Amino acid sequence: MGLFDEALKVLADAVDRSVIVAGPEGKVLQANRRARTLLSWEQPDALVTRSLETIPFALSTRSRLQRDPGPWEEETTIEARGRLIPVLVAKRPIAVRGRRAGSLVLITDLRDVTTAIAERDRARRNDLAKTRSLHMVAHDMSGAVTIIKGYVALVQEGSLGIDELERYVPVLADQLQHMERLLNALLDTARLEEGGLELRLEPLDLADFVEDLVRKMRAPETGHQLMVRREAAGLPILADPIRLDSIVRNVLSNAIKYSPEGTVVTCTLRLDDGATLEVADEGGGIAGDDQSLLFTRFGRVGELATNPPGVGLGLFLSRELARLHGGDLTVTSEVGKGSRFTLRMPLRDGGAR
Amino acid sequence: MARVLLVEDDIHLRLVTRLVLEQGGHVVDESPDALQALRHLRHERPIKTEVIVADMRMPEMNGLEFVAELRTHDRLSPIPVILLTGDVDARDNAPPEVSVVIKPFEPSQLLEQIIQLTAATDTN
């Protein structure tokens, strides 16, 4: 047998449907691996005695296979290992030098197709969510870029002197840092998906860490009051400071973003099963159905999804990061009563000071 | 030269956009959200605002809702509106008479847009 014939056999075994080649009288000459499995023709010499009419299709299909040279295809059933399987059968005539030489019968297991369609739909939904989330990241970035661009343009056209620009350098630095955080969130999300996220653990104290961060975050323009309540003297943990910063910052800015200006956001630090940070806001709260959406990769809740800007990645990433540390991030909330996010991290050396 | 009402919730964006507008020779009033902007406009008698520049995405009332609200007031509906947005597809969602400027924008883009809009209302 030539190379081409061998190649065809390899190809026939590689396709995801059953392929049968029959002679002019309907005698089976070749069947690919999938066909042999489907029809239990595993013995090497099994083919010799077979003909198309012995394939256990529904009766009408059997007779059509015999009399109708094709091309045609139809949905039918086949009996395999005692079960009726929905299949799509196609028959194609094969001519050699203009004369009918036989036929090709293709059988597609429709159960595979259903799974494939469900899989494709799921992938498509995930793609859509990803696109939406990319839009949100792009939106967040566009604000920062506009600000930086604006100042640069003002300097370029000479309407803002370099000495005057100095006044705005902290703003520019803030915007760049904001963009850097967005970029890191995107990168971490991608790394999570690929399983390549590595933590750089350091001994630190959750209570001190949160207090420090809250001091840095007090944003006068929102008018929110950030309160820290320490119910434990120290909460020693092992954590990656950059990721911990991202988790706590996310939960805090989330609380600020979704609660009215001038209200109080309370951070309580306590020792229970582990080192615990509880962030409680006086916002509108989140309905039970929506709570489960909060932590999906690209989920944001209800009409909020169209209003305040923000990246859907935030809470998903925060929870995943917390879990990588051996901890967790959870929420309890009631509509009209605000939300309470709880970050629980394992204590270092299993003990507290 | 026009009197511009700038509606933007982000304090930094508001500041730099204001600087850009002022460098373009415009007089700027500002509002941190759409509700305050509406209050400002309702009390302005006669109307001095010639152009409104508003962010698309704002809490409470977004840019599109703000425009829809303006359209319900006879006095306010003729004021031309420019919406600022980071969403490239936003142009499709905005009513045709509203100008959309995509962020990040060149300051000159915004200024040109204002000149166009004020020129159009001057000739009417």
CATH number at residue B15: 3.40.50.2300
Residue A178 vs residue A295, higher pLDDT: A178
Q: Is A337 on the interface with B (CB under 8 A)?
A: no
pLDDT in tens, A245-257: 989 988 988 888 7
Alpha-carbon gap, residue A271 to A277, rounded angstroms? 9
Q: Is A154 on the interface with B (CB under 8 A)?
A: yes
Give the torsion sign (CA, A14, A19, A21, A27): positive
Question: CB pairs below 8 Å between A and B: how many?
Answer: 70
pLDDT in tens, A106-146: 999 888 887 888 888 877 877 776 777 777 777 778 888 99
Highest average pLDDT, of A136-140, A191-195, B80-84, comes from B80-84
Contacts of A159 in chain B (CB under 8 A): 23
Beta carbons of A149 and B106 less than 8 Å apart: yes
Beta carbons within 10 angstroms of residue A337's beta carbon: 13
Average pLDDT, stretch A203-227? 84
Q: Indicate the pLDDT class of residue A91, thresholds 50, 70 and 90.
A: very high
The pLDDT, as a whole number, for residue A40 is 84
The pLDDT, as a whole number, for residue A280 is 92
Identify the domain containing residue B21 by its residue range. Answer: 3-123
pLDDT for residue A157 is more than 80? yes
pLDDT in tens, A11-29: 888 888 899 999 888 888 8
For B18, name the nearest residue in chain A, comparing CA atoms only.
A150
Best of A128, A131, A146 to mutate (most B CBs within 10 Å, chain B): A146
Q: How far is B25 from chain A (nearest CA, A)?
A: 11
Q: Indicate the pLDDT class of residue A350, thresholds 50, 70 and 90.
A: low
Q: How far is B82 from chain A (nearest CA, A)?
A: 16
Alpha-carbon gap, residue A172 to B115, rounded angstroms? 28
Residues in chain A: 353
Average pLDDT, stretch B39-54? 93
Residues in chain B: 124
Beta carbons of B16 and A150 less than 8 Å apart: yes
Cβ-based neighbours of B60, under 8 Å, separated by 6 or more: A307, B33, B34, B35
| Among A246, A251, A248, A237, CA closest to A325 | A237
The pLDDT, as a whole number, for residue A300 is 47
- All domains of chain A in start order, with CATH: 3-114 (3.30.450.20), 199-353 (3.30.565.10)
Domain count for chain B = 1
The pLDDT, as a whole number, for residue A131 is 75
